[in-house]
Amino acid sequence: MAFTSTDLTNVEQAIMSLGTGDAVVQVTFGNGYSVRYREADMDKLIQLRSLIQRETAGVHRRVYASNAGRCRS
């Protein structure tokens, strides 16, 4: 799934809501898929935020061992 900056904003808002006392939050992603999270799921939300941050920043790149460290002419 390709994440968007809106997905990141939604996850960050969910983290804030859980952190300020909401018992349950719902995050809806750009593809229409929704997930409910509880306070016990905070670690999952934080991991998801990190993943979305990497993907939306373009940091998440695949490196193939056969091409690592080699330049093509």
Taking only the tens place, the pLDDT of each residue in 11-68 is: 999 999 999 999 999 999 988 999 999 999 999 999 999 999 998 886 445 554 555 5
Write out the DSSP string of 37-72.
EEGGGHHHHHHHHHHHHHHHHT------TTTTT---
Per-domain residue ranges for the chain?
5-57
Region 5-57: CATH code: 3.30.1580
pTM: 0.73
Structure tokens at 60: 């998440």
pLDDT band at 7 (very low <50, low <70, confident <90, very high): very high
